[in-house]
Each structure stands twice: as C-alpha cells, then as structure tokens.
Amino acid sequence: GATFVPCDPAWPESRIADILTEANVCAIVRDAGSSAVQLRALHDKEVLFIDVSSSAQIRRSSPGKDLDASELAQARGAVRAAIEAAGGTPPWPPPEVLYVMYTSGSTGKPKGCIVPSSGLWTHFRWAIDVQGLTADDIFVLKTTCAFDVSIHEMWVPLLLGCTSVVLEDGGQLDFD
C-alpha cells in the first residue's frame, strides 16, 4: 500500500508544485494530457510517472532506464501471486496514512490534512450502515478528486459493487 495525494490539474501550477514538493511524492499517476508541471516541480528528485491513458507510457522523470512492457507485466504478476498466496488479501498492511488532502489555502498556504486508513474505513462502514446502501444503488461521481467528498463518491461504490455514473465537468448542473 501507499499514501496518495490527490491534485486537481485545473489548479494553478504553483499550487500543484508546492503540494507535490511538500508531500515529497515518489510517483505520480496522471492523464497523459496533463501539463508538465510535475516535471518542473520535482526536477531534483527521481519520480515515477504513470500516464493512465496508456499503460505503456510509464517512465522515470530523471535519468534512468524506462520500464518496458515486459518488466511492468512481470511486476504485476509478482504482486498478483503474492496476493493470491496470502489468501486474496495483500500480504502487506495498508499504509497508516491512506491519503493527504490539501485545504483550499484560503488563509494562505494550503495545508495537508492527514487521513488514516482506520478513520476512512470506519467512515465507510458508518455511511453504508446509516444510509442503508447496497450493491443495487447507483452513485454519481461528480467531484474533483482533490475535494474530500470525492473519496466517498469513488470508494463506497467500489466496496459495495455499485454502479457509478461519471458526470462530465458541469454535469451536476444539468437538470434535464
């Protein structure tokens, strides 16, 4: 497991750079169409970039060898084998800190809010029980991944096996 730090590509470049630097990230998962802000922000450190629009586009940001498709497939196979050997659960514990969500910075510099794994799973169990959610429910994913509500919108449906409908930007304002 690893800690993740969601950033919205629509944010100003300086905000993204500050957050990525403060969080001391070692890997960035992004859309291949994203700006190169991450490269400029982390030029002094080796960072693995994973461009999700094409799994073949995985590379390192600093000098070093690129990962080729066979190495990536081998790594995936090793992880799957380890999970199966552990009875279907990962043989490593979840990270103590699951994610760090940054505030808006309205009072100055954005501040990282640390969310522990235990707190999130407790929240999910509560939300599922109190709201009576089941696998038959349909969720709407409408919030940027960098806003706290998105965590609930993304993960609860996955836990329950629900359907998720992803809205286009501004789609939540279309009532027709």
What does the pLDDT average to over 70-85?
60
Q: Which residue has the tokens 């970039």?
A: 49
pLDDT of residue 87: 61
Name the nearest CA neighbour of 148 among 11, 42, 5: 5
More confident: 28 or 44? 28
pLDDT classification of 56: cutoffs 50, 70, 90: very low
pLDDT classification of 73: cutoffs 50, 70, 90: low
pLDDT of residue 137: 93
What percent of the chain is modeled with pLDDT above 90? 9
Side-chain-facing half-sphere of 175: CA atoms under 13 Å: 0
Task: Give the span between the Cα atoms of 96 and 167, in whole angstroms.
Answer: 32
CATH 3.50.50.60 fits 117-176, yes or no: no
Name the nearest CA neighbour of 25 among 8, 48, 59, 9: 48
Give strand pairing partners of 174. none
Alpha helices in 52-147 (DSSP H): 69-85, 117-131
Answer yes or no: are the C-beta atoms of 160 and 134 closer than 8 Å.
Answer: yes
pLDDT classification of 55: cutoffs 50, 70, 90: very low
Report whether pLDDT(89) > 70: no
Cα 86 to chain centroid, rounded: 25
pLDDT of residue 90: 54
More confident: 28 or 102? 102
Give strand pairing partners of 60. 48
More confident: 148 or 67? 148
Cα angle for residues 115, 162, 118 (degrees, 5° grid): 20
pLDDT classification of 92: cutoffs 50, 70, 90: low
- Domain range annotation of the chain: 1-92, 117-176
Task: Give the span between the Cα atoms of 3 and 90, in whole angstroms.
Answer: 15
